[in-house]
Amino acid sequence: MTDGEFITVWLVAVALAAVVVLIAAGLLLAVLLTARSLLRHGAQALEAAEHIAADTQVIWALDDTNRVAADILATAESIESNGGAIATALRQTEAAPVSVVSTGGSEHAQ
């Protein structure tokens, strides 16, 4: 191999190496830009998810509301039942009135 051929092969090898380095650098820049884009979009998605969680907190609170409403209903039904029993007892008391008759100084309840 002559000096001219050696220099030609060496220059071709250096040129190929430079092309490989440039392609690798381009790919690394593409990866870097994609990673930054993913980070930016991920931050936007997280922010949106936080807003959604805040906006739907009321829906999750409905479970508590339903439990309290069920407790109130049970209490109201108990009051209704007890009120009915009291009303029945009062009606029975009104049906058999108690009178006080005064006879010769002593009072007897009938």
Does residue 106 or residue 56 have the better pLDDT?
A: 56
Determine the Cα–Cα distance for residues 108 and 106; give it in Å rounded to an integer.
7
The pLDDT-based confidence of 105 (bands split at 50, 70, 90) is low
7 has a pLDDT exceeding 60: yes
% of the chain surpassing 70 pLDDT = 85
Query: What's the predicted TM-score (pTM) here?
Result: 0.48
5 has a pLDDT exceeding 60: yes
The pLDDT-based confidence of 99 (bands split at 50, 70, 90) is low
In the chain, how many H helices and how many E strands? 2, 2
| pLDDT per residue as tens digits for the range 37-69 | 999 999 999 999 999 999 888 888 888 899 999
Nearest to 46 by CA among 6, 106, 64, 54: 54
Q: What is the mean pLDDT of residues 78-100?
A: 79
Amino acid at 1: M
| pLDDT per residue as tens digits for the range 13-28 | 999 999 999 999 999 9
pLDDT at 84: 85
